[in-house]
Structure formats: structure tokens, C-alpha cells
A and B are shown apart, each in its own frame.
Chain A
Amino acid sequence: MTVSGGDLGRPDAHRLVHEPAVRGGAVAISDGRPLLDVHDLSVSFATRDGSVQAVDGVSLQLGGGEVLAIVGESGSGKSVCAMSLMGLTRGPNATISGSAMFAGRDLIGASEAELRRIRGAQLAMIFQDPQSSLNPVYRVGDQIAEQIRAHEPFVSHAQALARAVALMERVGIPLAAERVRAYPHELSGGMRQRVMIAMGLSLGAKVLIADEPTTALDVTVQAQILEQLKRLREQEDLSIVLVTHDFGVVADIADRIAVMQTGKIVEQGTAEEILREPKHPYTRGLLEALRPSKKADAPRARGGALLLDIDNLHVSYAGRSRRDATIDALDGVSLELEAGETLAVVGESGSGKTTLLRCIARLIEPTDGTILLQGQDLARAPRRKLASLRRELGVVFQDPQASLNPRRRVGATLERALRARGLGKVAAQSQVGGLLERVGLKQGYATRYPHELSGGERQRVGIARALAGEPRLVLLDEPVSSLDASIRHGVIELLGELQQQLGCAYVLVSHDFATVEALADRVAVMHVGKIVEFGAAKQVLLEPKHPYTQELIAACPRLPGGVASSAWTMPRSSFSA
């Protein structure tokens, strides 16, 4: 059977290519050529500080019905690589060389007009954040219809909308006939990403490029979206280029994996080869970083004294009108935490875990209930006493880039935190160095600005700031989720060490089970404002009782058992980042 390149443009062309893709083997080939053949792709951008080589001589092949994963950390060039295939990196500052043969044409050398006909019609792309990727001012149906009509100008708007409904049903959107009239903000994150997929498939695209398609989504939603992609691959022979930083996602779905580092592909092979026997040290490091470190059972100075006692905490917001019911962000939450312990609060977005944290810091006024910190009620404390009570608290925020003042040197930031504790200027300055060393940074870092630090170093500064007041309780709000996998490990270890040295207690909010497993003594699982399960970490993670906890843990993408070496003793502990 021969299939010429041009035939691939026909909507039914994939039916001609009926031999099954060779899973886990070599590139699936239809007529001696892969569907997408990228050769020696390089992309560099001219910046004020000279030229930056984002992609450096990348060669890739994608067969029909195959899933190729491009894995790398932020800055590895994986997204630029994917976007260059769509021609989305073109611009006066970009230099792009190499070739990418698709359907008989070179995507790199193609003119804008040629590229426009391919984009969306044969080659589609979905992005990381479906919320910002959809235009907020148009109904989702109209956005899908717009794409159909851009390529098939003789289709009426009504016909295009009817096709949009069918597409939305195909990607698993219930009540598609109603949802087609919804605005993006009226849909959930998972539904929005499904709309993006529907849009991508609206003209029978052969290849879907998915750039971190589940990173912005909750873990149970992530599992659903990955399931949907798998189904499309199996039922419709869709080829997928999956760009991700997450090996857990990859293990679930990829046939082949290419690992990228600083613009180059350092290792490429079948999913099994890469996950079982990674050859390149960088790949090994990435996989190593995913392995959960077990909570050290070292003896600790545990007084057993009750530090934090939250009882029947309520936070509710009134609806806009009398018709609207009040919204309970927290609905009768009760928790206990002993001195020197770590309590992890897990749950999906909207579960109320961040609200709980804000209540403890009294950034939100609780509607009802008590928060006793060493016997003092934070929930009822008068405003003027708050400052002294807050001194017992340290907070580490999710995004260190956003939570450090960019115009202040690291030393000045820490000095301010120390002086807030009541130290004089000289005393505070003398302690900055010690504080930096405590979090594993050199004293010289005091004169640097936040933008001169890496993400991991910035978060260490964030931790140092939280510790400046020698707090009894530190609130950790997703402390590593904005960091790359390979540096998460170090920060988590640091948090563990500091707890042993200083004896402070942590309240950790996280959606990442690897972090939770590494740090937590107790785990509370939250769902729509309530705690559905609360107990010792091991018990909750290994023998979850509540169905929601079971669902949550099952949804975590994980590496196949036995892939990595000895540390994977418990099959349950293979939660990925």
C-alpha cells in the first residue's frame, strides 16, 4: 500500500493507513516515512543580552497513531520546539533552521499562507492553561465554529455550530448542546481543556501537539484528560506529541520518549527503555527526583504538647442575591497538631485547603469556630494582638518569584523579617548570614536580587524569611509545586532537616503526594470544605478509607512498578511529582 504525502490531508486518509502502530517498537511507519519527521531543528532568539539558543539540533520522528513524549524541565526548550512546528515562534527576533516534514511539506520553510492551511486543519495544538488559552469574550461554540469556518469558508455558522456540538460530545463533554453556548469562565478547567481538544480535532487533524495539557489541572481531572487522549489515539488513530515535565504523565500514555535538556535531546527511545534503563545521567536524575523520600523516622524532640487545635471552623460567603445560597468555603473543620509535627492538608482546587491556611494566618476572618495556637484563640484575637500572635507563625508561599520583593536585595528582605521580630538594625544585620547558611545558601547571597537566583534558591530565601521570627508553626503553601522536579528534592530535604533542628511544626498544603509522603506525620484530606479523612500519614496514604481519598490516590499518574530501583519498596508509594 502506498500513501502519498498529499493523501494525508484528506479527512479519511487515516483509514488507508490501517496497519497498527508499532507500540513500544520502532517508529510506526505508513509508507516508509514517519508522519512527522523533524530533522536538525534549531531555534534561537535575539535578546538584548545576545542570542539565546532555545532549541539546538533536535531530530524527532512521529508515526501514525503514536504518542511521542518530549520531557524536560523548564527552560529545556521543549515548548519552543513544539511551538516551532506550528510556526508559532516565528517573529523578527527568531532564527529557525532545520526541517520538519509533515504531509509532504516542510513546516519550517512553509510560507505563512501555507502554514495557515495546515494549522488547525491537519496539525492542531492544545496548551497548558485552558483558561487563558480560550478567548474570554466569545462563547466556546463560536470559538470552535470560527476554526471550522476559517478552513471551510462555505460552511455556514449554524452548520459549524452543529459540528461543534458533535465534537464536544466526542471529547466527553456532557450536555454539549447547552455548553456550546457557554463562555469559557462558565466551564471547569477539565471541560475547558476538552473544548481545546475538540477545537483541535474539529477538522480531522492527524497530529495533536499537547503542550503540558494537564499541568494546570487537578489530579483527578488530569487522569480524565489523559484517558480521553488515550481513547482518541486508540479509536481515531490520532498521533500525539506530548510535551511535559512530568514523567508520571508520560509513563501512562507515551510510546516513545525524548528527553530534552538545554535545547538538545539527550536521550530518546521507547517508553519502556527510558523508564526502565535510563542511560543519560540527566534522565536518571529526573527519574531519581521522582522517587519519594520516606519521612525520616529519626527520634525527634516531640513534646506531645498540643500546639494547634482547630475546632469546628466555618468560613462562608454570602451569595450575591438572596436567591443564591451561601457558599461554605470551610464547613466545620477540626484538626489537631502537636509541637514539632507536620500536618499535610491535601485536596483539589476549591476544596478549601488554602482557605484553611489563610484562616490560621488570620488573613481571612472565620465565620465560626476556634483556632487555638498554644491556647490563644487566633480566630477571636483582637486586631491589635494579631501582630504578636503572628510572630509565632511563618509562611512559605507557592511562588517564590512572586512573593519576594524584586527591588529588594535578599539581605534586606531577611533583615526586615528579623527586625519584625523586634531585633535592632545591627543585631538583625548580623543574623542575616546565619539565616542564609541555615537554608544552605552562602552568606554572599545577601547582596543579590531575587532575579539573580534560581527558582530553588529563591524558595530557600522564602524559607529563611519564614524562619526569621523563630516561629513555632510554619505554614507551607505548595512550597515546591512551582519548582522543577530535580530541585524539589533538595528543598523538601531542607524542610525536613530544619524541622528536626528547630522543632517547629508545619502545616503543609499540597496537591502533590510525593511531597506529602516525604514530610507529613498526619494527613487531612479535604473535599468541598470538609475534612473527609484525617489520620496518620502512613495510614491515610496506604490504606485510604474514604472513597474520595481512594479516588485521589488512584488518579495520581505513577511510574510503572519496578521501574526504578530499590527505593520502590511499597507499590503504593510510587506517586509521581
Chain B
Amino acid sequence: MVAFVARRMGSLVAVLFAITVLTFLIFQAIPDGDPALRMAGRLASPQQVQAVRVQWGFDKPIYVQYAKTMEKVLDGSVISYSQQVNVEQEIVRDLPPTISLALGAGVIWLVFGVLFGLLSAVYAGRWLDRLLSVVALTGISMPVFFLGAIMLYWLGYKWGLLPLGGYVPLTVDPWGWFTHMLMPWVALSVVSVGVYSRVLRANVLDVMREDYVRTARAKGLSERRVLVRHVLRNSLMGIVTLWGLDFAWVIGGGAILVESVFNLGGVGQYAAQSIGRLDVPPVMVITMLVACAVVVLSAIVDIFYAVLDPRVRL
């Protein structure tokens, strides 16, 4: 097991390096993206542009630029072009709402996805299964901005049950944090609950046909024990992978729509604003953050996977 974790960590470092190189190159190739021109402002003379270029090292060979950029990324001194503010400080400021969103929604979609999926499979073909599949498909096809707007209108504006967007830090006011996050959590998890319950239903039905489930029954175990210990555990493999990727996606600001609809001021919202201004440094750093989150969480998922299924450790 230790060897497995060490191997996995070794490949992790290599992948992270490759990701930073690729991200850097992609943003070099953006058209109309000459950073010196953008930083110097619209009315700058060619001399001023040249001065900015030299000052920031944009005239150096590309690998020097990469090294310089990575140096700045690593010591946290990346400056945005348009507002000349420190990008990483902005991201650190925006992370709490994003992490709150990812954690809460992640728990909701995992718990309800597994619950609905298991119920669907156990009652396969009966009315509960059909009802849940209709609910799941509705959830999958519900656009987040639509659902978010509806919830804000009724729960927030009409009935005044929940606050109308914004973010309150957990450390300042735990109840306020919870009430502010509730609608974003639900809006974000609805799609995933649908997807997860469908995936789990299929997995459970597959595993139920396995010989070892028959063995478990032949041993005289109770149906509940067969279901939980032998069927559910072996059905969770695919879900674990899916969850790791989805969670990483939200952490890296993937929930742009939800963050914007509820004005959470998270990483996703920051990314959306920066893209609008063609402000390369924040977008690049956020891209690296997403990629790293995905890679690191996949590694964690792999390790968890090895705990779930000993055959993976080979």
C-alpha cells in the first residue's frame, strides 16, 4: 500500500509540471494577447510599450518567460494586467465561498445520488424506480441559471425565507453562512444527483448479478447486509471517480454560473470577470488551479480506490 501511494505521488509531480507548461503555452498562443500592449494601456506610445516589455521580461526567450512566470506563480507575486493587483491574493480571498460551495454541494449530491440510485435499483421496474428516474432526468436537464433564478425569486424574494445571494464567512456567522449557501448548494447538486443516481443504479444492478452476491445470500446473511456490504461497496467504485473529478471542477471555479447567479464572489466568478477583460494572469493561474485540483483529487481518489478494491494495489 505504501509503495502504491509513493508511485502515485511520483507520477503526480510529473503531471503537474506538464500541466503548468501546457497552460503557459496555451496563454502564449492567445491571439491579440500581447501582454505589453495590454498592460501599457490604450494611449501608450511604442516606447512605453517597449519599456513595459523589457520591465516584465516579455522580450526574453520563451523558456525564460516560463521560468519567470512560474517563479511568480510559486512565490505568489502574479500581477493582473488590467488592475495591477496581486492575483493570488484575490484567489485566496475568493476561495472560502468556492470551497464552501464545493463541500456542501459535494456532500449533498453524493448522499442523495447514492440514496436515490440504491432505491431505484432495489425497486427496479416498480413505481418508485420510475418516479426517481423521472426526477433524475428532470434534474439532469434543469439549467442551473433557470433553477437558481426560480429559487431566488420564490424562496428569497417572494417568501423571504432565504437571503438573496451573497456570502457570509463561516467564522463570522455560521447560521448566516448556512442560509446563504443553502440555495447555491441545491442549485449546483441537482444535476449531479440525477447523474449519480443513474450511474449508481446501473452499477448496483450489475453487481447484484455477481456470483459473490449469490454466495453472500447462500451464507445466510440478511438482505440488508448483502445489500450494504456486498452490493453497495462494490458498486461505489465508479461513483468515487466521478465524485473526485466533479469536486475538483467546482474547487477550481467550475461552478461559474452558480457563483454568478448567487453572487458568491468565488473563484469562478473571478475567472468569469477576468475572461471578460482578457486579463491573462488571473485566468492562467485559475486554469492551473483547476488542473492541479483535478490531478490532486484524482490521486486521492486513486488511493481511496485502492482502499476500496485491493486488486488495484498491484
Q: Are B219 and A199 in contact, with the CB atoms below 8 A?
A: yes
A127 x B211 contact (CB < 8 A): yes
Contact A136 B310 (CB under 8 A): yes
Task: Please name the residue on chain A nearest to B229 by beta carbon.
Answer: A146
State whether B220 touches A137 (Cβ < 8 A): no
Which chain B residue lies CB-closest to A86?
Answer: B218
Q: How far is the CB of A52 from chain B (nearest CB, A)?
A: 18
Q: Which A121-179 residues have a C-beta within 8 angstroms of B? A: 121, 124-125, 127, 129, 132-137, 146-147, 150-151
Q: CA separation between A134 and B230, bound complex, in Å?
A: 10
Cβ distance A194 to chain B, nearest Cβ, rounded Å: 15
Contact of A185 with B by CB under 8 A: yes
Chain A residues within an 8 Å CB radius of B216? 135
Most central of A83, A120, A185 by chain B CB within 10 Å:
A120
Given the interface pairs A119-B217, A136-B310, the reply to whether A150 lies near B222 with Cβ below 8 Å is yes
Q: Is the CB of A129 within 8 A of B211?
A: yes
B210 contacts partner chain A, Cβ-Cβ < 8 Å? yes
A2 to chain B, nearest CB (A): 28
Please state if B214 and A116 are interface contacts (CB–CB under 8 Å). no
The answer to whether B220 touches A117, judged by C-beta atoms less than 8 angstroms apart, is yes
B233 at the interface (CB under 8 A from A): yes
User: Once the chains bind, are A112 and B223 in contact (CB under 8 Å)?
Assistant: yes
The reply on B308 being an interface residue by CB < 8 A is: yes
Contact B217 A88 (CB under 8 A): yes
Tell whether A183 is near chain B: CB-to-CB under 8 Å: yes
Interface size class, chain B: 20 to 34
Q: Which of A121, A146, A151, A199 has the most CB of B within 10 A?
A: A146
Taking A132-B210, A133-B215, A135-B230 as contacts, is the C-beta distance between A147 and B311 under 8 angstroms?
no
Closest to A320 in B: B314
Could you say which residues of chain B place their CB within 8 Å of the CB of A27?
Answer: none
B215 and A137 contact, CB distance less than 8 A:
no
**Residue among A83, A117, A118, A150 with most chain B CB within 10 A:** A150
Residue of B nearest to A127 (CB): B211
> How distant is the Cα of A116 from the Cα of B230 in the complex, in angstroms?
16
With A127-B211, A134-B215, A137-B233 in contact, is A185–B220 under 8 Å at CB? no
Bound-complex Cα distance A150 to B217 (A) = 11
Q: B310 contacts A133, CB within 8 Å?
A: no
With A137-B309, A183-B310, A183-B311 as contacts: A127 and B214 at CB distance below 8 Å = yes
Contacts of B222 in A (CB 8 A): 116, 150
Interface: B130 (CB within 8 A):
no
A147 and B219 form a contact (CB under 8 A): yes
Q: Is the CB of B310 within 8 A of A88?
A: no
User: Does B309 contact A150, Cβ atoms closer than 8 Å?
Assistant: no
Interface of chain B: mostly helix, strand, loop or mixed: helix
Cα–Cα distance between A338 and B233 once the two chains are bound (Å): 55
Q: Are B310 and A137 in contact (CB under 8 A)?
A: yes
Beta-carbon contact of A116 and B220 below 8 Å: yes
Complex Cα gap A129–B217 (Å): 16
Scan residues 162-179 of chain B and give those whose CB is less than 8 A from a CB of chain A.
none
A135 to B215, CA, bound (A): 9
Rounded to whole angstroms, the CA-CA distance of A196 and B216 in the bound complex is 11
B220 touches A118 (CB 8 A): yes
Q: A132-B211, A183-B310, A185-B310 are in contact. Are A137 and B219 (CB under 8 A)?
A: no
Query: Taking CB as reference atom, which chain A residue is nearest B313?
Result: A183
CB within 8 Å of B: which A74-125 residues = 83, 86, 88, 112, 116-121, 124-125
Shortest Cβ distance from residue B67 to the other chain A in the assembled complex, whole angstroms = 34
Q: Using Cβ atoms and an 8 Å threshold, which residues of chain B touch A320?
A: 314
With both beta carbons as reference points, the residue of chain B lying nearest to A87 in the complex is identified as: B217
Interface mask (A44-75 → B, CB under 8 Å = 1, otherwise 0)? 00000000000000000000000000000000
Which residues of A are found within 8 Å of B234, using beta-carbon distances? 135-137
Q: Give Cα A127–Cα B213 distance, bound, in whole angstroms.
A: 12
Interface flag for B221 (CB, 8 Å): yes
B224 to chain A, nearest CB (A): 11
Number of A-B contacts (CB under 8 A): 71
CB contact under 8 A between A119 and B219, given known A132-B211, A150-B225: yes
Residues 213-253 of B contacting A (Cβ, < 8 Å): 214-223, 225, 229-230, 233-234
Contacts of B219 in A (CB 8 A): 119-120, 146-147, 150, 199
Interface string of B85-114 (1 = CB under 8 A from A): 000000000000000000000000000000
B198 to chain A, nearest CB (A): 22
Contact B217 A134 (CB under 8 A): no
- B212 interfacial contact with A, CB 8 Å: yes
B210 / chain A contacts, CB cutoff of 8 Å = 132
Chain A residue contacts of B223, Cβ below 8 A: 112
Residues of B within 8 A of A136 (CB): 212, 234, 309-311
What 1/0 flags go to A319-350 for Cβ under 8 Å of B? 01000000000000000000000000000000
A199 to B212, CA, bound (A): 13
User: CB-CB < 8 A to A133: which residues of B?
Assistant: 211-212, 214-215
CA–CA, A135 to B219, complex, Å?
12
Complexed CA–CA distance, A127 and B214 (Å) = 9
CB nearest neighbor in B for A128: B211
**What residue of chain A has the Cβ atom nearest to residue B217's Cβ?**
A88
Tell me, in angstroms, the Cα distance from A118 to B218 when the chains sit together: 9
* Cα(A146)–Cα(B225), bound, Å: 10
Which residues on B sit within 8 Å (CB–CB) of A117?
220
* Docked complex Cα distance between A440 and B290 (Å): 63
Cα–Cα, bound, A116→B223 (Å): 9
Within the complex, the shortest CB–CB distance from A128 to chain B, in Å, comes to 8
A129 to B218, CA, bound (A): 15
Assess whether B225 is in contact with A135, with CB atoms less than 8 Å apart.
Answer: no
Query: How long is the Cα–Cα vector from A212 to B230 in the complex, in angstroms?
Result: 23
Taken together as a complex, chains A and B put the C-alpha atoms of A136 and B230 apart, in Å, by 10
Closest to B223 in A: A112
Q: Taking the nearest CB of chain A, how far is it from the CB of B231, in angstroms?
A: 10
**Nearest chain A residue, comparing its CB with the CB of B233:** A137
With both chains docked as a complex, state the minimum distance between the C-beta of A454 and any C-beta of chain B, in angstroms: 24
Q: What residues of chain A lie closer than 8 Å to B215, measured between beta carbons?
A: 127, 133-135, 196, 199
Report the Cα distance A444→B206, complex, angstroms: 37
A124 to B217 CA separation, bound complex (whole angstroms)? 11
* Other-chain contact of A120, B214, B220, B229, B233 (Cβ < 8 Å): B220
A151 to B212, CA, bound (A): 19
* Contacts beyond the supplied A119-B217, A147-B221, A150-B225: 18 A-B pairs with Cβ under 8 Å: A86-B217, A88-B214, A118-B220, A119-B218, A119-B219, A120-B220, A124-B218, A125-B218, A127-B215, A132-B211, A133-B215, A134-B215, A136-B212, A146-B219, A146-B221, A146-B229, A150-B221, A196-B215
23 A–B pairs (Cβ distance < 8 Å), ordered by A:
A112-B223, A116-B220, A119-B217, A119-B218, A119-B219, A119-B220, A124-B218, A127-B211, A127-B214, A127-B215, A132-B210, A133-B214, A134-B215, A136-B234, A136-B309, A136-B310, A137-B308, A147-B219, A147-B221, A150-B220, A183-B310, A185-B310, A196-B215
Q: Which 9 A-B pairs have the closest CB atoms?
A: A120-B220, A119-B220, A132-B211, A147-B219, A135-B212, A120-B219, A133-B211, A125-B218, A183-B310
